[in-house]
């Protein structure tokens, strides 16, 4: 697909500004710094910006607004990204939805991608409200919400905070599948921040993403490699300490604000979806059981479960040809 070419080229672009000296830690060719606001990250579509004021700070929220390339069906899909990414990794899904006639909105949540990086108390409620503000600024009254990984947590919260705006919902390989607050104590944001600074090397960053293909290490491809290099490039920026603190604050949010209690309040038709062999819940068996529990917990038979055998946490990067058609089919159903 087009995005594979874009991202393969981007690997070369990221390295083009570097010397050929080798990193003593990883053997990775030295890279130039990458802005923590991602001006030089490879995005599949242009970004737009919405000014906001959060906790007394003037900030801006970035988002891509993709028009239908096929006959327009009058519906909008919002793609909510995961914690280790930003909207930039949704290019192939956005392309398929656009071809199917959807308008596609892809926000970079506050603290991610091209959006501002304020030091604030992050919350899913704020993420949901900011996304609502983007939709309202574009005159969109109702949308289909697709949330991947941490974005699945946000999608659940958005759908319960703004049910009148949620036409359909897809919980796509979500994390936060259980409330872990009673099995382990809360971590320290400051300790997390120090670890981020201490582990700012390519090997550690790549290892954190390799968990996504723990079921099949050979599934690691140029797309995963590109995103590992982007994350490493951020650590070379003079602004890396700010981003490291933002990431530590958001990690605390994932622990402190579970959405497991939102699921019984979801009103929209829902697809509980993703790669069946996701290891982020401990084991694939545990992940599958919790995904089935979500589908059972959403009331009135409004949810269905569709898991893809042999795929892990980010199926649309691993095998888009298998992953994207059933997602588009669910969203287009009944239109």
pLDDT tens digit at each of 335 positions of the chain = 444 334 433 443 444 333 323 343 444 556 889 999 999 999 999 999 999 999 999 999 999 999 999 999 999 999 999 999 999 999 999 999 999 999 999 999 999 999 999 999 999 999 999 999 999 999 999 999 999 999 999 999 999 999 999 999 999 999 999 998 988 898 999 999 999 999 899 999 999 999 999 999 999 999 999 999 999 999 999 999 999 999 999 998 989 999 999 999 999 999 999 999 999 999 999 999 999 999 999 999 999 999 999 999 999 999 999 999 999 999 999 99
Residue ranges making up the domain that contains 182:
2-332
3-state DSSP percent of the chain in helix, strand and coil, to 5 = 45, 15, 40
- 142 φ, ψ to 5°? -150, 140
CATH number of the domain residue 207 falls in: 3.40.50.1820
Q: How far apart are alpha carbons 154 and 148 in whole angstroms?
A: 9
| Cβ partners under 8 Å of residue 188, min gap 6 | none
Specify the number of domains making up the chain: 1
pTM over 0.85: yes
Distances (CA, A) of 277 to 89, 274, 282, 291: 20, 9, 10, 12
Cα angle 81, 86, 91 (rounded to 5 degrees) comes to 80
């Amino acid at each position: 697909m087009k995005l594979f070419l874009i991202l393969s080229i981007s690997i070369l672009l990221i390295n083009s500004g570097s010397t050929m000296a080798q990193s003593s830690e990883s053997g990775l060719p030295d890279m130039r710094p990458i802005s923590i606001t991602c001006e030089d990250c490879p995005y599949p579509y242009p970004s737009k910006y919405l000014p906001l004021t959060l906790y007394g700070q003037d900030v801006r929220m970035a988002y891509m607004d993709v028009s239908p390339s096929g006959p327009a069906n009058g519906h909008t899909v919002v793609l909510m990204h995961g914690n280790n990414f930003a909207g930039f990794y949704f290019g192939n899904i956005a392309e398929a939805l656009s071809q199917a006639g959807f308008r596609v909105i892809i926000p970079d949540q506050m603290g991610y991608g091209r959006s501002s990086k304020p030091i604030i108390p992050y919350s899913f409620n704020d993420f949901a409200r900011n996304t609502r503000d983007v939709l309202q600024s574009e005159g969109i009254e109702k949308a289909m919400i697709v949330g991947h990984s941490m974005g699945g947590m946000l999608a659940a919260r958005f759908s319960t905070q703004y049910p009148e705006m949620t036409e359909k919902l897809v919980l796509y390989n979500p994390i936060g599948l259980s409330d872990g607050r009673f099995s382990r104590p809360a971590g320290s944001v400051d300790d997390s921040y120090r670890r981020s600074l201490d582990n700012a090397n390519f090997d550690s960053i790549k290892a954190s993403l390799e968990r996504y293909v723990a079921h099949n290490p050979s599934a690691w491809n140029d797309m995963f490699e590109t995103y590992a290099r982007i994350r490493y490039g951020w650590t070379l920026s003079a602004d890396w300490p700010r981003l490291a603190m933002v990431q530590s604050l958001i990690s605390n949010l994932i622990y402190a604000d579970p959405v497991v209690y939102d699921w019984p309040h979801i009103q929209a038709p829902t697809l509980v979806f993703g790669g069946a062999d996701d290891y982020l819940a401990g084991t694939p068996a545990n992940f599958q059981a919790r995904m089935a529990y979500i589908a059972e917990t959403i009331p009135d038979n409004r949810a269905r479960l569709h898991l893809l055998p042999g795929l892990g946490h980010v199926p649309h990067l691993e095998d888009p040809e298998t992953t994207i058609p059933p997602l588009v089919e669910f969203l287009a159903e009944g239109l």
